[in-house]
Structure 1
Amino acid sequence: MRVLLVGDYPPPFGGVSIHVQQLHGFLRSRGVEARVLDIGKGGRPVPDVLPVRGLVPFGLRLTGFLGAGWTVHVHTSGNNPKAWLLAAAAGGLPGARAPRFITLHSGLLPDYLRASSSRRMFARVALAGYARVIAVSEAVREALLECGVPEEKVLVHPAFCSSQVRPGEVPVRVEAARARRRPLLAMAHHPSPVYGRRLAFRALRLVAESYPEVGLALFGPGTDSEDFIRDARELGVAKYLEPLGDLEHPAALGLLVRSDAFLRPTTHDGDSISVREALTLAVPCVASDVCDRPEGTWVFPSGDAASLAARIRQAVTAGRVAVSSPDVGPVLLGLYESLARRQPARTQPASAM
Structure 2
Amino acid sequence: MTVSHQDKTSENRPEATCGTMNDASRISSSPRPDVAIIGGYPPPYGGVSVHIERLHGYLQSQDFPFILYDAYRRTRRDNIVPLGWPKIVSYLWRILTTPAKVVHLHTSRNFIRVLATFAAMLGRKKLVISVHGSSLANGYGKGSNALGRAMTSWAMRRAGHVVAVNPEIAELCKTIGLAADRVTILPAFIPLPPDRIGPERIPAEARAFIETHSPTLVGAGWFGTIVNGQDVYQFNFMLRALAQLREKHPNTGQVLLISGTHDEAFRQQTLALRDELGLADAVMVVDGVRTDVACSIYQACDVFVRPTTTDGDSVALREALHLHKPCVVSDAIPRPEGCQVVATGDLAQYVAQLTAMLDDLPAATAELKRLQKPLSGPEVYLDVYRSLLAD
TM-score (norm 1): 0.86
Superposition map of 1:204-215 within 5 A: 204-215=242-253
Match of 2:153 in 1: 124
After the TM superposition, which residues 55-134 of structure 1 pair with which residues of structure 2 at under 5 Å, given as runs? 55-65=88-98, 68-77=99-108, 83-93=109-119, 94=121, 97-107=124-134, 109-113=136-140, 114-116=142-144, 117-134=146-163
Partner of 2:29: none
1:215-230 alignment runs, 5 A limit: 215-220=253-258, 221-222=260-261, 225-230=267-272
Residue 339 of structure 1 aligns with which residue? 388
Q: Which amino acid aligns with 1:118?
A: L
226-235 or 7-16, which deviates more: 226-235
User: C-alpha distance in 2, partners of 1:102/1:307?
Assistant: 37
Q: Is 1:292 paired with 2:323? A: no
SS, match of residue 195 in structure 1: coil
192-201 or 269-278: which moved more?
Answer: 192-201
Q: 1:143 to 1:234 in 2, by over 3 A?
A: farther
Kindly state the Cα deviation for residue 167 of structure 1 after the two structures are TM-superposed: 2.2
Q: Measured at CA, do residues 295 and 20 of structure 1 come closer, stay the same or move farther in structure 2, by a change above 3 Å? A: same
Change (3 A) 1:139 1:237: farther
Look up the match of 2:82.
51
Residue of structure 1 equivalent to 2:379:
330
State the distance in 2 between where 1:181 and 1:239 align: 10
Cα distance change of structure 1 residues 238 and 315 upon mapping to structure 2, 3 Å threshold: same
Residue 232 of structure 2: SS of its match in structure 1? Answer: helix
Q: Identity rate of aligned residues, in percent? A: 29
Q: Work out whether residues 241 and 351 of structure 2, in 8 Å CA contact, stay in contact via their aligned partners in 1.
A: yes
Matches within 5 A, 1:158-237: 158-162=187-191, 166-167=196-197, 169-191=201-223, 192=225, 193-220=231-258, 221-222=260-261, 225-237=267-279
Contact 1:3 / 1:71 at 8 angstroms: preserved in 2? yes
- Work out the CA distance in 1 between the residues paired with 2:113 and 2:48: 14
Please give the per-residue CA displacement for 1:191-242, whole angstroms capped at 9, x wherever unaligned. Answer: 2211122221222112111111111010112498312213324555333211
Contact 1:162 1:325 in 2 (8 A): no
Partners of 1:204 and 1:163 in 2: CA distance: 30
Shift of 1:140: 2.6
Could you list the per-position Cα deviations for residues 280-319 of structure 1 after superposition, in whole angstroms to 9, with x for gaps in the alignment? 1111111111222222212111111122122223333233
Q: Which residue of 1 aligns with 2:287?
A: 245
Residue in 1 aligned with 2:178? Answer: 150
Given that 2:110 and 2:135 are in contact with CA atoms closer than 8 Å, whether structure 1 keeps it comes out as no
Alignment partner of 1:24 out of 30, 41, 56: 56
Q: Contact conserved, 1:8 with 1:38, CA < 8 A, in 2?
A: yes
- The separation in 1 between residues aligned to 2:276 and 2:150, in whole angstroms, is 45
Distance 1:216 1:21 in 2: 27
User: How many residues are matched?
Assistant: 333
Alignment counterpart, residue 361 of structure 2, candidates 318, 324, 342: 318
Offset of residue 262 of structure 1: 0.7
d(CA) in 1 for partners of 2:246, 2:113:
46
Q: Is the 8 A contact 1:158 1:271 kept in 2?
A: yes
Alpha-carbon distance change, 199 to 167 in structure 1, aligned in 2, over 3 angstroms: same
Distance 1:15 1:56, change over 3 A: same
- The answer as to whether partners of 2:66 and 2:100 remain within 8 angstroms in 1 is no
Q: Which runs of 5+ in 2 are unaligned?
A: 1-32, 226-230
Cα distance between partner residues in 1 of 2:374 and 2:205: 30
Alignment gaps of 5+ in structure 1: 78-82, 343-353
For the 8 Å contact 1:285–1:315, the answer to whether it is kept is no
Q: Which residue of 1 aligns with 2:7?
A: none
Classify 1:292/1:241 alpha carbon distance in 2 versus 1 (closer, same or farther; 3 Å).
same
- Residue 119 of structure 1, CA deviation: 2.0
Rate the CA distance shift 1:145–1:121 in 2: closer, same or farther, 3 A. Answer: farther
Name the CA shift for 1:96/1:56 in 2 (closer, same or farther; >3 Å): closer
How far 1:105 sits from its partner (Å)? 1.1
